[in-house]
A = this chain, B = another copy of it.
Amino acid sequence: MEKKSWANADCPIARAVDLLGEWGSLLIVREAFGGTTRFDAFQKRLGISRNLLTTRLNKLVDGGVLKRRPIATDAKRQEYVLTEMGEDLLTLVVAMRQWGDRWLFTPDTVPADLIDGRDGALVSPLEVRSATGRPLTLADIRLKRRRRSEDG
């Protein structure tokens, strides 16, 4: 299978796919959001080979999503934690979870709810909104190129 890198593509989605779109990468990010930090824990929870996990973790570290830090109780070994860039994937991870809940489960098989820890209420479905807060649909949105032409 030929493979093309989109790392320098002139599109943020293409670049994000290049960094995150390989098989397993987003599940590593999901695990990191859930508090997993150790190599062995990632491996056990995802059930993927050590070689593949190493490759994926290295790419996420090189790309700035994860960082290595010494394990407090064992300074020779390292664990993996989200960087600020990685934590900013929260919106993407929540969007994926909410879409999956709606379309890949039936209402009575949804396995878990995202809740606000302070009051236990459900997190709202993400909505695309205008600058003034009005909900926007696909028909409302346009992509305006900054360079070349005015209209993308």
Contact = CB atoms under 8 A, between A and B. Distances in A.
Contacts of A4: 47-48
A114 to B, nearest CB: 6
Interface string A105-142: 10000111111111111111011111111101111111
A10 interface: yes
A105 B30 contact: no
Interface of A: 1-4, 6, 10-17, 19, 21-27, 30, 33-34, 47-49, 52, 64, 85, 87-105, 110-124, 126-134, 136-147, 152
Nearest to A52: B1
Contact of A13 (B16, B17, B30, B85): B30
A129 B124 contact: yes
Nearest to A20: B96
A117 B101 contact: no
B138 A13 contact: no
A126 B91 contact: yes
A122 to B, nearest CB: 6
B23 A94 contact: no
Contacts of A142: 114-117
A99 B123 CA distance: 20
Contact of A131 (B12, B121, B136): B121
A146 B13 contact: no
A138 B127 CA distance: 18
A21 B101 CA distance: 16
